[in-house]
Amino acid sequence: MKKEEIVKEILELKKKRNAVIVAHNYQVDDVQEVADVIGDSLALSKYCADVKKDVIVFCGVHFMAESAKILSPDKIVLLPEIDAGCPMADMVTKEALIEEKKKHPNATVVCYINSSAEVKSECDICCTSSNAVNIVRSVKSKDILFVPDMNLGSYVAKMVPDKNIILWEGYCITHHRIKISELERAKELRPNAKVLVHPECQPDIVAAADFVGSTKQIIDYAANSPDKEFIIGTEMGVLFKLKRDNPDKSFYLLSQGLVCPNMKKTSLLSVYRSLKEMNYEINLDETIRLKAKKALDNMLEIS
């Protein structure tokens, strides 16, 4: 099928199923083009909770569709590619976390939204890359067990030095592999460009950047900045919105390695199949869902 035909089929099926399509900032351009809304995982999950539709097609990775289901238990949440996972989220399991918690009985457990619903169910409060610093500041205890991203955790530790942050050794394979030599080379090539990076990058990259933020914060920064050139240190999918919304500005990817293979599994064809066959439905154990929801609600109360 040609692209236009697939899009037409998707739009018809969307109507028939009373569905909405949401796409993460890291999805391929074709999928972002067909989506009703594009955003980060939390913004999309909140949108899904409020939208008056029966079916949500969540174009992203597994933990994101789970977050949508946590907040929208009565809607059908579909993940078009069931193998689209997040290797970082998989670096912590509920069982391993329960063992680690025993070693730090006085610590508050803060978990990055990039974690499974099961892991969230064992945490006190969630955070995103937008609000991690504020969430950690708001926690009363000095000791904080931060899971699973050690790079985001290190960034937060630097910003909130009065807390004792116990790191988990997880990381995003895509952001973690960026090397300082790549950043230096990019700056040599574009000396006037501002460097905007995600806190999932390693501390040396974060320290050398002009701005550190989540996908939404990077997108907002570029839109509001008087600067015209930017080196982007997060997954390449954000270039879609950056270029679409800022035709007078130039964007350069910090490294060709900034591609998340799991985010790229979802295509227009997968969205079409998902709506046609109602695949793959995300369901959660109700006890887990309620406990995970508590961690998300605790975050939403503060941010």
Per CB under 6 A, residues contacting ligand SF4 are 26, 61, 86-88, 114, 172-175, 200, 235, 260, 262-263
Which pairing describes strands 143-147 and 211-212: parallel, antiparallel, or unpaired? Answer: unpaired
Sequence-ordered alpha helix ranges (H) in 160-196: 173-176, 180-189
**In sequence order, what DSSP letters do the residues of 34-96 get, joined into one string?**
H-SEEE-HHHHHHHHHHS--SEEEEES-HHHHHHHHHH-TTSEEE-S-TT---TTGGG--HHH
Q: Which range binds ligand CIZ by CB under 6 A, 69-77, 154-162, 213-221, 270-278?
A: 213-221
| Assigned token pair, 243 | 């270029």
Of the pair 66, 200, the CB lying nearest ligand SF4 is at: 200
**Cβ partners under 8 Å of residue 6, min gap 6:** 268, 269, 272
- Confirm whether residue 129 is marked as ligand binding: yes
Nearest distance from C-beta of residue 157 to ligand SF4, angstroms = 19
Q: Report the alpha-carbon distance of residue 52 to residue 49 in Å, rounded.
A: 8
Bridge partners for 111 per DSSP = 126, 147
- Confirm whether residue 128 is marked as ligand binding: no
Nearest distance from C-beta of residue 80 to ligand CIZ, angstroms = 17
Q: Which of residues 229-288 bind ligand CIZ (CB under 6 A)?
A: none
Q: Which range binds ligand CIZ by CB under 6 A, 178-186, 209-217, 252-260, 275-283?
A: 209-217
Nearest distance from C-beta of residue 211 to ligand SF4, angstroms = 19
Q: Which of residues 93-112 bind ligand CIZ (CB under 6 A)?
A: none
**Residue 214 binds which of ligand SF4, ligand CIZ, none (CB < 5-8 A, kind-dependent):** ligand CIZ
Q: Report the alpha-carbon distance of residue 180 to residue 172 in Å, rounded.
A: 16
Question: Which residue numbers belong to the known binding site for [4Fe-4S] cluster?
Answer: 86, 172, 260
